[in-house]
């Protein structure tokens, strides 16, 4: 079964965002099949076997576009596979006949596609009727019967009962010491396979944008639509393809953070919106004045604002403070600030959050994924591609 959810995640990782059309999904699928050997094998296996799709919700727009792209690509691949003969060449190794010459098979094994002959060296030596025993006292013997606790073995001196554990330790395996050429061949192939591996660095998003510059079909921009939306809400209209403009915005982040910090530390008076509770900041304390007709809610809002101010000053003294946590306390402090001051501080905080997202996005855009690639030693064909972690 073909999972649209799995393929949608692969396509989204290749594109750096969700596909917005079937053509974009096809382009993402092409990139996945180009760099991911596991996905390539699964794709061609599905094309050859005619696998069906798993059920998915038709309301899922990304899954629907992924399904349409996969269906179109699989149909074209099936047509191509039906017209083009396989390039796989199977050669029979005549030297293997020398190893089995004169040895009769002891049984057969039914595989998925054919029935295979089983030779003595293909099976594990077990304690069964006819097995050979080498006893230190009675010499060579053959098992006649096996019960739950004993094995009846026939020696020249006559039949003897042996404990199962002892009899298993005396079994003779004629093929245990015989060298198997196939094992040496497999070891050599594995060593050549591992030595052919190398690490291949893929293009980062910045490099890919530089390569696709001016091509509206493949150029996606350095930043995602989500980050671009955050910047627009914060008042920044930027060109997603202009690296210098984006970098200059990131450079202005420390100044914005310092301005926000000074705006919080510069608050010396608090006044509730109804004007009935007032507080002025003195060294180490707040001097509070409450009108006689002030309500309990107004006084509680003033106290909450004072505590929020104390928490904010402590948070802003530390490095790496969270904008979401600061926003929670700022909303409490804003209940005792003028609307203009509250709007200014919330605007600065929104700019800081957007610029921080932009900084992370640019860092990710400069990251170039590394993949380990192994080749077939005879033809140089890529046979395995896996991501490398820890770089």
| Structure tokens that stand for 135 in this block | 């006893």
Rounded CA-CA distance 164/167 in Å is: 5
Strands 370-375, 382-387: pairing kind: antiparallel
SS3 content of the chain, % helix, strand, coil (to 5): 50, 15, 35
Q: CA 295, CA 292: separation in Å to the nearest integer?
A: 9
| Secondary structure of residue 162 in the 3-state scheme | strand
Strands 115-118 and 132-135 come out as: unpaired
How confident is the prediction along the chain (391 residues), in pLDDT tens digits per residue?
788 888 888 888 888 778 888 888 898 898 888 888 888 888 888 888 888 888 777 777 888 888 888 988 988 888 877 644 444 444 444 444 444 455 677 788 776 556 767 776 666 777 888 888 999 989 999 999 988 888 999 999 899 999 988 888 898 877 666 555 556 677 877 787 777 777 777 778 777 777 776 566 666 778 888 888 888 988 888 887 777 888 899 999 999 999 999 999 898 899 888 888 888 988 878 888 888 888 888 888 888 988 999 899 998 888 888 888 999 999 999 988 888 999 999 999 999 999 999 998 888 888 777 888 877 766 677 777 777 766 5
8 Å CB contact between 212 and 31: no
**Taking the complete model, does pTM exceed 0.85, yes or no?**
no
Gap between the Cα atoms of 391 and 371, Å rounded: 10
DSSP labels, 15-84:
HTS--SSHHHHHHHHHHHHHH-HHHHHHHHHHHHHTPPBPP--TT-HHHHHHHHHHHHHHHHHHHHHHHS
Of all helices (H) and strands (E), which one includes residue 187? helix 181-195
Quote the CA–CA distance of 170 and 375 in Å, as a whole number. 46
Both structure tokens of 234: 């914060």
Angle made by CA atoms 46, 51, 56, in degrees to the nearest 5: 110
Using a 10 angstrom Cβ sphere, with 0-12 exposed, 13-18 middle and 19 or more buried, the burial of residue 333 is buried
Overall size of the chain counted in residues: 391
Whole-angstrom distance, CA of residue 375 vs CA of residue 287: 77
Q: Which residues make Cβ contacts (< 8 Å) with residue 147, sequence separation at least 6? A: none
Residue 102 has a CB neighbour count (10 Å cut-off) of: 5
- Residue identified by tokens 């190398």 is 198
């Amino acid at each position: 079964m073909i999972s649209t959810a799995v393929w949608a995640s692969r396509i989204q990782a290749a594109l750096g965002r969700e596909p917005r059309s079937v053509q974009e999904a096809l382009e993402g699928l092409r990139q996945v099949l180009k760099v991911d050997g596991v996905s390539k094998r699964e794709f061609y296996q599905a094309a050859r076997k005619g696998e069906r799709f798993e059920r998915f919700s038709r309301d899922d727009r990304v899954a629907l576009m992924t399904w349409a792209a996969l269906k179109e690509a699989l149909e074209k691949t099936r047509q191509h596979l039906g017209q083009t003969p396989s390039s796989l060449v199977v050669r029979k190794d005549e030297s293997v006949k020398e190893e089995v010459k004169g040895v009769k098979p002891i049984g057969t094994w039914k595989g998925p596609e054919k029935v295979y002959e089983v030779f003595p060296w293909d099976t594990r030596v077990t304690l069964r009727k006819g097995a050979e025993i080498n006893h230190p006292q009675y010499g060579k013997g053959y098992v006649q019967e096996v019960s739950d606790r004993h094995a009846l073995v026939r020696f020249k001196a006559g039949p003897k009962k042996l404990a199962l554990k002892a009899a298993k330790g005396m079994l003779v395996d004629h093929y245990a010491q015989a060298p198997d050429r196939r094992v040496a061949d497999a070891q050599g192939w594995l060593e050549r396979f591992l030595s052919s591996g190398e690490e291949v660095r893929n293009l980062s998003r910045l490099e890919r944008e530089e390569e696709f510059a001016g091509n509206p079909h493949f150029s996606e921009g350095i930043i995602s639509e989500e980050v671009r939306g955050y910047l627009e809400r914060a008042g920044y209209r930027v060109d997603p393809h202009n690296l210098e403009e984006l970098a200059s915005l990131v450079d202005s982040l420390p100044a914005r953070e310092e301005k926000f910090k000074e705006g919080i530390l510069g608050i010396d008076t608090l006044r509730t919106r109804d004007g009935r509770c007032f507080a002025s900041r003195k060294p180490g304390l707040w001097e509070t004045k409450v009108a006689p007709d002030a309500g309990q809610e107004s006084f509680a809002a003033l106290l909450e604002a004072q505590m929020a101010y104390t928490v904010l000053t402590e948070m802003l003294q530390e490095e790496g403070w969270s904008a979401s946590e600061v926003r929670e306390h700022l909303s409490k402090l804003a209940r005792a600030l003028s609307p203009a001051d509250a709007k200014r501080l919330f605007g600065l905080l929104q700019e800081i959050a957007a610029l921080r997202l932009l900084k992370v996005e640019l860092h990710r855009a400069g990251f170039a994924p590394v993949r380990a690639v192994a080749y077939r030693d005879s033809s140089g064909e890529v046979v395995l591609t896996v991501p490398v972690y820890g770089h």
